[in-house]
Amino acid sequence: MAKIGAAGFSTAASLNPGPPTSMLRRLLRDPVTLFGLAVILATVLAALLAPQLAPYSPDEQFFDGLSLEGAPLPPSERFWLGTDLLGRDLLSRLIWGSRTSLLIGVVANGFAVLLGTLLGVAAGYARGWLGAVIMRFTDLMMAFPALLLAIALAAIFRPSLWIVALVIAMVNWVQIARIVYTETSSLVEREFIEASRAIGAGPLRILLSHVLPHLVPTMLVWGTLGIATTVLLEATLSFLGVGVRPPTPSWGNIIFENQTWLTTAPWLVVFPGAAILLLALAFNLVGDALRDALDPTQRGRD
Protein backbone atom coordinates (compact mmCIF):
# COMPACT_ATOMS: atom_id res chain seq x y z
CA MET A 1 0.00 0.00 0.00
CA ALA A 2 2.94 2.30 0.55
CA LYS A 3 3.99 1.78 -3.03
CA ILE A 4 1.98 4.64 -4.48
CA GLY A 5 3.04 7.10 -1.85
CA ALA A 6 6.67 6.08 -2.16
CA ALA A 7 6.50 6.41 -5.92
CA GLY A 8 5.27 9.94 -5.61
CA PHE A 9 2.37 9.75 -8.06
CA SER A 10 2.31 13.50 -8.55
CA THR A 11 -0.49 15.86 -9.45
CA ALA A 12 1.38 16.73 -12.62
CA ALA A 13 1.05 13.12 -13.72
CA SER A 14 -2.69 13.17 -13.23
CA LEU A 15 -3.04 16.47 -15.11
CA ASN A 16 -1.66 15.06 -18.37
CA PRO A 17 -2.18 11.33 -18.69
CA GLY A 18 -1.65 11.31 -22.43
CA PRO A 19 -3.69 9.70 -25.25
CA PRO A 20 -5.36 6.39 -24.30
CA THR A 21 -3.95 4.65 -27.39
CA SER A 22 -0.41 5.67 -26.46
CA MET A 23 -0.88 4.42 -22.92
CA LEU A 24 -2.30 1.12 -24.22
CA ARG A 25 0.70 0.64 -26.51
CA ARG A 26 3.06 1.19 -23.57
CA LEU A 27 1.23 -1.43 -21.55
CA LEU A 28 1.12 -4.03 -24.32
CA ARG A 29 4.82 -3.63 -25.16
CA ASP A 30 5.89 -4.83 -21.73
CA PRO A 31 5.96 -8.65 -21.39
CA VAL A 32 5.77 -8.43 -17.60
CA THR A 33 2.58 -6.38 -17.85
CA LEU A 34 1.18 -8.82 -20.42
CA PHE A 35 1.83 -11.65 -17.96
CA GLY A 36 -0.08 -9.78 -15.26
CA LEU A 37 -2.97 -9.07 -17.62
CA ALA A 38 -3.06 -12.73 -18.70
CA VAL A 39 -3.27 -13.94 -15.08
CA ILE A 40 -6.04 -11.43 -14.28
CA LEU A 41 -7.98 -12.37 -17.43
CA ALA A 42 -7.64 -16.09 -16.66
CA THR A 43 -8.90 -15.53 -13.10
CA VAL A 44 -11.84 -13.44 -14.28
CA LEU A 45 -12.79 -16.07 -16.87
CA ALA A 46 -12.52 -18.82 -14.25
CA ALA A 47 -14.78 -16.85 -11.92
CA LEU A 48 -17.37 -16.10 -14.61
CA LEU A 49 -17.37 -19.61 -16.10
CA ALA A 50 -17.00 -21.57 -12.85
CA PRO A 51 -20.13 -23.71 -13.44
CA GLN A 52 -18.82 -24.73 -16.88
CA LEU A 53 -15.10 -25.07 -16.00
CA ALA A 54 -15.29 -26.86 -12.65
CA PRO A 55 -15.30 -30.64 -13.08
CA TYR A 56 -17.55 -31.14 -10.05
CA SER A 57 -19.63 -29.20 -7.58
CA PRO A 58 -17.37 -27.50 -4.99
CA ASP A 59 -19.36 -29.07 -2.13
CA GLU A 60 -19.65 -32.61 -3.54
CA GLN A 61 -18.04 -35.16 -1.20
CA PHE A 62 -16.87 -38.28 -3.02
CA PHE A 63 -17.10 -41.63 -1.27
CA ASP A 64 -13.89 -42.65 -3.02
CA GLY A 65 -12.31 -39.20 -2.59
CA LEU A 66 -10.33 -40.33 0.46
CA SER A 67 -7.83 -43.12 0.96
CA LEU A 68 -8.61 -46.16 3.07
CA GLU A 69 -6.89 -44.38 5.98
CA GLY A 70 -9.15 -41.33 5.51
CA ALA A 71 -6.40 -39.14 4.00
CA PRO A 72 -6.93 -36.79 1.03
CA LEU A 73 -5.98 -38.17 -2.36
CA PRO A 74 -3.00 -36.69 -4.24
CA PRO A 75 -3.36 -35.24 -7.77
CA SER A 76 -4.47 -37.89 -10.25
CA GLU A 77 -6.11 -38.29 -13.64
CA ARG A 78 -9.57 -38.01 -12.04
CA PHE A 79 -8.79 -35.32 -9.48
CA TRP A 80 -6.22 -33.10 -11.18
CA LEU A 81 -5.24 -31.23 -8.01
CA GLY A 82 -6.21 -33.96 -5.54
CA THR A 83 -8.96 -33.92 -2.93
CA ASP A 84 -9.32 -32.20 0.42
CA LEU A 85 -9.92 -33.64 3.89
CA LEU A 86 -13.65 -34.12 3.13
CA GLY A 87 -13.09 -35.84 -0.20
CA ARG A 88 -14.01 -32.80 -2.32
CA ASP A 89 -12.26 -32.00 -5.60
CA LEU A 90 -9.66 -29.30 -4.89
CA LEU A 91 -9.61 -27.98 -8.47
CA SER A 92 -13.37 -27.36 -8.39
CA ARG A 93 -13.10 -25.55 -5.07
CA LEU A 94 -10.25 -23.38 -6.37
CA ILE A 95 -12.24 -22.41 -9.48
CA TRP A 96 -15.32 -21.52 -7.44
CA GLY A 97 -13.12 -19.87 -4.82
CA SER A 98 -11.81 -17.47 -7.48
CA ARG A 99 -15.33 -16.02 -7.60
CA THR A 100 -15.30 -15.25 -3.90
CA SER A 101 -11.76 -13.88 -3.73
CA LEU A 102 -12.10 -11.77 -6.89
CA LEU A 103 -15.57 -10.48 -6.00
CA ILE A 104 -14.46 -9.39 -2.55
CA GLY A 105 -11.28 -7.88 -3.99
CA VAL A 106 -13.11 -5.79 -6.59
CA VAL A 107 -16.14 -4.81 -4.48
CA ALA A 108 -14.23 -4.03 -1.29
CA ASN A 109 -11.51 -2.09 -3.05
CA GLY A 110 -14.00 -0.25 -5.23
CA PHE A 111 -15.93 0.89 -2.16
CA ALA A 112 -12.67 1.85 -0.42
CA VAL A 113 -11.56 3.96 -3.41
CA LEU A 114 -14.98 5.62 -3.61
CA LEU A 115 -15.12 6.42 0.11
CA GLY A 116 -11.50 7.57 0.26
CA THR A 117 -11.95 9.78 -2.81
CA LEU A 118 -15.10 11.43 -1.46
CA LEU A 119 -13.54 12.19 1.92
CA GLY A 120 -10.22 13.27 0.41
CA VAL A 121 -11.88 15.61 -2.08
CA ALA A 122 -14.16 17.07 0.62
CA ALA A 123 -11.23 17.71 2.95
CA GLY A 124 -8.95 19.07 0.22
CA TYR A 125 -11.53 21.40 -1.30
CA ALA A 126 -13.29 22.64 1.84
CA ARG A 127 -10.20 22.77 4.07
CA GLY A 128 -10.78 24.81 7.24
CA TRP A 129 -12.35 23.02 10.19
CA LEU A 130 -14.13 20.44 8.01
CA GLY A 131 -10.93 19.39 6.26
CA ALA A 132 -9.10 19.26 9.59
CA VAL A 133 -11.77 17.02 11.17
CA ILE A 134 -11.79 14.61 8.20
CA MET A 135 -8.01 14.33 8.05
CA ARG A 136 -7.61 13.92 11.81
CA PHE A 137 -10.14 11.09 11.66
CA THR A 138 -8.15 9.62 8.75
CA ASP A 139 -4.95 9.84 10.82
CA LEU A 140 -6.73 8.11 13.68
CA MET A 141 -7.81 5.25 11.43
CA MET A 142 -4.29 4.94 10.01
CA ALA A 143 -2.91 4.58 13.55
CA PHE A 144 -4.68 1.23 13.97
CA PRO A 145 -3.04 -1.83 12.35
CA ALA A 146 -5.31 -2.69 9.42
CA LEU A 147 -5.31 -6.43 10.08
CA LEU A 148 -6.18 -6.09 13.77
CA LEU A 149 -8.94 -3.60 12.98
CA ALA A 150 -10.35 -5.91 10.30
CA ILE A 151 -10.31 -8.87 12.71
CA ALA A 152 -12.09 -6.81 15.37
CA LEU A 153 -14.78 -5.63 12.92
CA ALA A 154 -15.22 -9.14 11.50
CA ALA A 155 -15.64 -10.51 15.02
CA ILE A 156 -18.35 -7.93 15.82
CA PHE A 157 -20.43 -8.71 12.74
CA ARG A 158 -21.44 -12.17 11.55
CA PRO A 159 -19.00 -12.91 8.72
CA SER A 160 -20.49 -13.33 5.26
CA LEU A 161 -19.38 -12.48 1.74
CA TRP A 162 -20.68 -8.90 1.84
CA ILE A 163 -19.79 -8.26 5.48
CA VAL A 164 -16.18 -9.28 4.78
CA ALA A 165 -16.11 -6.96 1.74
CA LEU A 166 -17.47 -4.10 3.87
CA VAL A 167 -14.98 -4.75 6.68
CA ILE A 168 -12.05 -4.74 4.25
CA ALA A 169 -13.28 -1.53 2.63
CA MET A 170 -13.57 0.16 6.04
CA VAL A 171 -9.87 -0.40 6.76
CA ASN A 172 -8.51 0.31 3.26
CA TRP A 173 -9.99 3.75 2.44
CA VAL A 174 -7.55 5.79 4.53
CA GLN A 175 -4.55 5.63 2.18
CA ILE A 176 -6.47 6.81 -0.89
CA ALA A 177 -8.11 9.54 1.21
CA ARG A 178 -4.69 10.91 2.19
CA ILE A 179 -3.42 10.82 -1.41
CA VAL A 180 -6.56 12.44 -2.85
CA TYR A 181 -6.51 15.11 -0.13
CA THR A 182 -2.94 16.07 -1.07
CA GLU A 183 -3.73 16.25 -4.78
CA THR A 184 -6.99 18.15 -4.28
CA SER A 185 -5.30 20.70 -2.01
CA SER A 186 -2.77 21.33 -4.77
CA LEU A 187 -5.39 21.49 -7.52
CA VAL A 188 -7.63 24.08 -5.86
CA GLU A 189 -4.70 26.52 -5.76
CA ARG A 190 -4.15 26.38 -9.52
CA GLU A 191 -5.03 29.23 -11.87
CA PHE A 192 -7.79 27.44 -13.80
CA ILE A 193 -9.69 26.79 -10.56
CA GLU A 194 -9.38 30.46 -9.61
CA ALA A 195 -10.57 31.42 -13.08
CA SER A 196 -13.60 29.16 -12.74
CA ARG A 197 -14.49 30.78 -9.44
CA ALA A 198 -14.06 34.25 -10.99
CA ILE A 199 -16.63 33.54 -13.73
CA GLY A 200 -19.14 32.34 -11.13
CA ALA A 201 -18.77 28.54 -11.21
CA GLY A 202 -20.11 26.91 -8.05
CA PRO A 203 -18.25 24.35 -5.91
CA LEU A 204 -20.15 21.38 -7.36
CA ARG A 205 -19.38 22.37 -10.95
CA ILE A 206 -15.71 22.95 -10.12
CA LEU A 207 -15.45 19.56 -8.45
CA LEU A 208 -17.19 17.67 -11.25
CA SER A 209 -15.63 19.53 -14.19
CA HIS A 210 -12.11 20.34 -13.01
CA VAL A 211 -11.07 18.43 -9.88
CA LEU A 212 -12.46 14.91 -10.26
CA PRO A 213 -11.28 14.41 -13.90
CA HIS A 214 -7.72 15.13 -12.78
CA LEU A 215 -8.03 12.54 -10.00
CA VAL A 216 -9.12 9.71 -12.31
CA PRO A 217 -5.57 8.44 -13.07
CA THR A 218 -4.76 8.33 -9.36
CA MET A 219 -7.99 6.45 -8.64
CA LEU A 220 -7.29 4.05 -11.51
CA VAL A 221 -3.78 3.22 -10.33
CA TRP A 222 -4.79 2.91 -6.69
CA GLY A 223 -7.82 0.80 -7.62
CA THR A 224 -5.60 -1.66 -9.49
CA LEU A 225 -2.89 -1.88 -6.85
CA GLY A 226 -5.42 -1.99 -4.02
CA ILE A 227 -7.14 -5.11 -5.36
CA ALA A 228 -3.97 -7.11 -4.67
CA THR A 229 -3.94 -5.91 -1.06
CA THR A 230 -7.65 -6.63 -0.70
CA VAL A 231 -7.31 -10.20 -2.02
CA LEU A 232 -4.47 -10.85 0.42
CA LEU A 233 -6.43 -9.37 3.32
CA GLU A 234 -9.49 -11.49 2.50
CA ALA A 235 -7.31 -14.59 2.37
CA THR A 236 -5.76 -13.66 5.72
CA LEU A 237 -9.15 -13.14 7.38
CA SER A 238 -10.46 -16.42 5.97
CA PHE A 239 -7.31 -18.22 7.09
CA LEU A 240 -7.80 -16.85 10.62
CA GLY A 241 -11.41 -18.06 10.63
CA VAL A 242 -13.10 -14.62 10.61
CA GLY A 243 -13.60 -14.34 6.86
CA VAL A 244 -15.99 -16.02 4.46
CA ARG A 245 -17.68 -18.95 6.19
CA PRO A 246 -17.48 -22.50 4.80
CA PRO A 247 -18.85 -24.21 2.81
CA THR A 248 -18.55 -21.12 0.54
CA PRO A 249 -15.10 -21.64 -0.98
CA SER A 250 -12.47 -18.91 -0.98
CA TRP A 251 -8.75 -19.39 -1.40
CA GLY A 252 -8.12 -18.28 2.16
CA ASN A 253 -10.57 -20.62 3.85
CA ILE A 254 -9.37 -23.54 1.69
CA ILE A 255 -5.95 -23.07 3.30
CA PHE A 256 -7.57 -22.63 6.71
CA GLU A 257 -9.56 -25.87 6.39
CA ASN A 258 -6.56 -27.92 5.25
CA GLN A 259 -3.67 -26.41 7.20
CA THR A 260 -3.30 -29.48 9.46
CA TRP A 261 -2.42 -31.56 6.37
CA LEU A 262 0.47 -29.32 5.31
CA THR A 263 3.18 -31.95 5.88
CA THR A 264 1.25 -35.01 4.67
CA ALA A 265 -0.82 -33.44 1.86
CA PRO A 266 1.00 -30.22 0.88
CA TRP A 267 -1.01 -29.76 -2.32
CA LEU A 268 -3.97 -28.66 -0.21
CA VAL A 269 -2.05 -25.54 0.86
CA VAL A 270 0.40 -25.07 -2.02
CA PHE A 271 -2.19 -24.74 -4.81
CA PRO A 272 -4.49 -22.15 -3.16
CA GLY A 273 -1.42 -20.31 -1.83
CA ALA A 274 0.03 -20.17 -5.35
CA ALA A 275 -3.29 -18.85 -6.69
CA ILE A 276 -3.32 -16.03 -4.12
CA LEU A 277 0.32 -15.20 -4.85
CA LEU A 278 -0.15 -15.13 -8.63
CA LEU A 279 -3.26 -12.95 -8.54
CA ALA A 280 -1.75 -10.46 -6.09
CA LEU A 281 1.44 -10.32 -8.17
CA ALA A 282 -0.55 -9.80 -11.38
CA PHE A 283 -2.49 -6.82 -10.01
CA ASN A 284 0.71 -5.31 -8.64
CA LEU A 285 2.44 -5.66 -12.01
CA VAL A 286 -0.47 -4.07 -13.88
CA GLY A 287 -0.79 -1.32 -11.27
CA ASP A 288 2.91 -0.49 -11.55
CA ALA A 289 2.64 -0.39 -15.34
CA LEU A 290 -0.38 1.92 -15.19
CA ARG A 291 1.44 4.24 -12.80
CA ASP A 292 4.42 4.45 -15.16
CA ALA A 293 2.21 4.90 -18.24
CA LEU A 294 0.29 7.75 -16.62
CA ASP A 295 3.43 9.49 -15.39
CA PRO A 296 4.57 12.08 -18.00
CA THR A 297 8.12 12.07 -16.64
CA GLN A 298 8.53 8.50 -17.93
CA ARG A 299 7.23 9.05 -21.46
CA GLY A 300 10.42 10.21 -23.09
CA ARG A 301 12.46 7.23 -21.91
CA ASP A 302 11.14 4.55 -24.22
- Cα–Cα dist 249/57, whole Å: 11
The verdict on residue 116 lying in a domain is: yes
Neighbours of 35 (CB within 10 A): 15
Task: Round to whole Å and give the CA distance between 180 and 138.
Answer: 12
Note whether residue 175 is domain-resident.
Answer: yes
pLDDT at residue 255 is higher than 90: no
Query: Taking the model in full, what pTM does it have?
Result: 0.76
Each residue's pLDDT tens digit, 106-145:
888 889 999 999 999 988 888 888 888 999 998 888 887 7
249 within domain boundaries: yes
The domain in which residue 90 lies consists of 18-58+81-301
Tell whether 69 is covered by a domain: no
Residues of the chain above pLDDT 90, percent: 16
Q: Has residue 9 been placed in a domain?
A: no
Residue 96 pLDDT > 90: yes
119 contact partners, CB below 8 Å, separation of at least 6: 134, 138, 173, 177, 180, 181
Asked whether residue 235 carries a pLDDT value surpassing 60, the answer given is: yes
Q: Is 70 part of any domain?
A: no
In a domain, 137, yes or no: yes
Residues of the chain with pLDDT > 70, as a percent, come to 88
Distance CA 295, CA 191 (A): 22
pLDDT at 10: 41
Task: Report the CATH number at residue 22.
Answer: 1.10.3720.10
Q: Would residue 2 count as lying in a domain?
A: no
26-66 pLDDT tens trace: 667 778 888 989 999 999 999 999 999 999 999 889 888 88
Q: How many domains does the chain have?
A: 1
